[in-house]
A and B are shown apart, each in its own frame.
Chain A
Amino acid sequence: NAGVTQTPKFQVLKTGQSMTLQCAQDMNHEYMSWYRQDPGMGLRLIHYSVGAGITDQGEVPNGYNVSRSTTEDFPLRLLSAAPSQTSVYFCASSWDAETQYFGPGTRLLVL
């Protein structure tokens, strides 16, 4: 099993650009989520999904969109990148919300 994979590992964007962070899992988990982690801070939940076709907002959803067309994939879209979105983004999957498996993260720098 590859577990949770994220691409790209690192990305530099200019303000106003859009991009999609990819997340995939091969554990057949229903629950998937996206977090961001700013330096020296804990993780903050952006969006989550309890199954294909179902998504919901977390603590900091503004500026991000998600969709869940399959059980395996949960992409995160930045609509118009801003410097405040510079962060490390983690995707996670699980059978329930508490015991999540996290991916290696995507480091995003917005100039």
Chain B
Amino acid sequence: LAKTTQPISMDSYEGQEVNITCSHNNIATNDYITWYQQFPSQGPRFIIQGYKTKVTNEVASLFIPADRKSSTLSLPRVSLSDTAVYYCLVGEFRGSARQLTFGSGTQLTVLP
């Protein structure tokens, strides 16, 4: 199983760049790495997805080294509204389709 491991919690201050690292030592060749964000009392929201090297969108950047055994989600200049739980996931093919396994995620708290 391509289980992921990430820190339970992180604190940051407004305006700082936040990097959340996730390890996925057993990732398979055709697996993608996907990150979600979840605010309290809401469903998770897709942030970014990547396979290798670097992916950037309007919200975040995702850095994936050549061995793909880890990935780093980078949030530039966070604000209080970025306080949320961030999940790192690797889709695995089980049954009739790929499935996502959500761990406990990383609780990011942005302080003023």
Contact = CB atoms under 8 A, between A and B. Distances in A.
A50 B87 CA distance: 23
Interface in A31-78: 31, 35, 40-45, 48, 50, 54, 56-59
B42 A105 contact: yes
Contacts of B103: 42
A100 B59 CA distance: 17
Given A56-B96, A98-B34, A43 B49 contact: no
A84 to B, nearest CB: 19
A96 interface: yes
B112 interface: no
A42 B43 contact: no
A97 B97 contact: yes
B70 to A, nearest CB: 18
A99 interface: yes
Contacts of A102: 42-45
Interface string B13-44: 00000000000000000001010000001111
Task: Classify chain A: how many residues form its interface, as a range.
Answer: 20 to 34
B104 interface: yes
B56 interface: no
A108 interface: no
Nearest to B44: A102
B62 interface: no
Given A98-B91, A102-B45, A35 B97 contact: no
Given A40-B104, A45-B99, A54-B96, 20 more contacts: A4-B43, A42-B87, A43-B102, A45-B100, A48-B99, A50-B96, A50-B97, A59-B99, A90-B43, A90-B44, A96-B98, A97-B91, A97-B97, A97-B98, A98-B34, A98-B91, A98-B100, A100-B100, A102-B43, A103-B43
22 contacts: A40-B104, A42-B104, A43-B44, A45-B100, A45-B101, A50-B96, A56-B97, A58-B95, A58-B99, A59-B101, A92-B43, A97-B97, A97-B99, A98-B32, A98-B34, A98-B89, A99-B46, A99-B49, A100-B44, A102-B45, A105-B41, A105-B42
